[in-house]
Amino acid sequence: MIDKLPPQNIEAEEAILGGIMLDPEAIGRVSDAYGGKQRLIPEAFYISAHKDIYQAAQRLHCSGKPTDLLTVTAWLTDHDLLVRIGGRNKLATLVDRTVSAVNIDALAELVMDKFVRRQLIKAGNEIVHLGYETETELPQILDQSEQKVFQLSNQTLSSNTEHNSTINVAAYEDLNSGNPIYPTGLHELDNLMVGFESGTLTIVAGRPSMGKSQIALFLAFQMILLHNLPVVIFSLEMTKKQLEYRLWSLISITNAYKHLELTPLKSDRIRRHRSGNKPLADWEFTSIAKIVGVASELPLYMNDLRGITVSQIASECRQIKAKEGKLGLVVVDYLQMMAEDSGGNRSYELGDVARGLYKMAGELDVPVLALSQISRGVEGRQNKRPMMSDLSQSGILEMVADNIILAYRDEYYNPDTTDQGILELIMAKARHGETGTATVFFDKSYGIIQNLR
């Protein structure tokens, strides 16, 4: 099998190029720089000269120019590529051999099929070499191997360097469709960070008991409620059932389910029932049954594996995304629990986790929300509102995060404060937005967050 030629179809490549030069509409049916959806890419051509010709047609099309024989010839001449592709005779031969571009879509699929098969062979060889790397830990080997296969199955091609004409058109198409930013529904917060954007890492940090986990659960629930997007939560602190009970509490007082006439269910109500301290009444069970019905329909996934790694999180997310088609938000609760306490440099270990999540957000094109602790230093200050420098091992987190939100409740430190129920979401960093403070109402008994105005 090693002596066989790589999969390719030269005749199909020639017919595509001839069709593009014959029919002015043909390039728009196959080009990856048109319609906001990647289809036939230059790298798919087996013959390098064919790749150059196709790229020339792409550039002309993106500039609003025709892709006929004369124009393509002139472009290649101006860019000193005409001799390299075989001269004018090569282009003329492509046109002469082509009757029409009527089947160009099918031919493009055929060329892409052969390309993906070549990429599969390449990935297979790379996976074989990975298998021999005994000095690398097996989970990392499996993750790298899985990435290569998922990239092929989703045609997420490894080449990421594009000419600006391609990026320009894709960016314009995104104005109307493709990859929107999803608001959180908290008006003051959305004014600062706009919303959750695919490929970004947002960190919510705070001292213990500030409500970080409830904030994350609420924001995850908003992605489902407002945008009908699938969400996955990786909880290293709470079990899936504990998280589920908190979700029930949140559902019980959410306006969207007001028509079900649910009984408000406090966050600790289930625990008190389970302890025998205050058993649930029949009317409470009736309400909970309705809540369970609502919760079962939500596109929500939970994972409570203690000691889970970034590689394992990425693997789980790939599978969920493949099943659901997209992911609205990935929540990780929390960063410090993922950094191994192996006696090494804690900052480096936390940095590896943060960088891994940031990289994962980009590779999977999903927004990631990670929770983080804040150092005890804030307790010794008169003004206990956290600052970005209070982040545990803050340097790397400041660098990789797109957004950093610091949670503060004055009533935690000052029980007699006039700001009862007030949660300050301090936007300390907003790479694509504005810094500032979003003030909201927070009822910790139910985990609900509401706009003040």
For 158-193, the pLDDT digits (tens) are 455 677 877 777 777 777 665 689 999 999 999 999
What's the average model confidence in pLDDT over 397-407? 92
More confident residue, 156 or 438: 438
Percent of the chain at pLDDT above 90? 53
pLDDT of residue 170: 73
pLDDT of residue 103: 82
Q: Does 112 score more than 80 pLDDT?
A: yes
What's the average model confidence in pLDDT over 144-168? 71
More confident residue, 32 or 330: 330
pTM of the complete model: 0.70
- Give the number of other Cβ atoms within 10 Å of residue 31's Cβ: 24
Q: For domain 187-451, is the CATH number 3.40.50.800?
A: no
Span 18-29, pLDDT tens digits: 999 998 878 877
Reference 244, options 292, 281, 212; nearest CA is: 292
pLDDT of residue 177: 63
Span 72-105, pLDDT tens digits: 999 999 999 999 999 999 999 999 988 888 888 8
Instruction: Work out the pLDDT band at 312, boundaries 50, 70, 90.
Output: confident
Average predicted confidence (pLDDT) for the chain:
87
How does DSSP assign 14-67, residue by residue? HHHHHHHHH-TTHHHHHBTTSTTS--B-GGG-SSHHHHHHHHHHHHHHHTT---
Q: For domain 10-173, is the CATH number 1.10.860.10?
A: yes
What's the average model confidence in pLDDT over 428-449? 94
How does DSSP assign 399-431, residue by residue? HH-SEEEEEE-HHHH-TT-S-TTEEEEEEEEET
What's the average model confidence in pLDDT over 188-209? 94
pLDDT of residue 36: 37
What's the average model confidence in pLDDT over 398-407? 93
Please state the domain extents for the chain: 10-173, 187-451
Percent of the chain at pLDDT above 70? 92
pLDDT of residue 34: 39
CA dihedral 266, 268, 269, 270 (to 10 degrees): 130
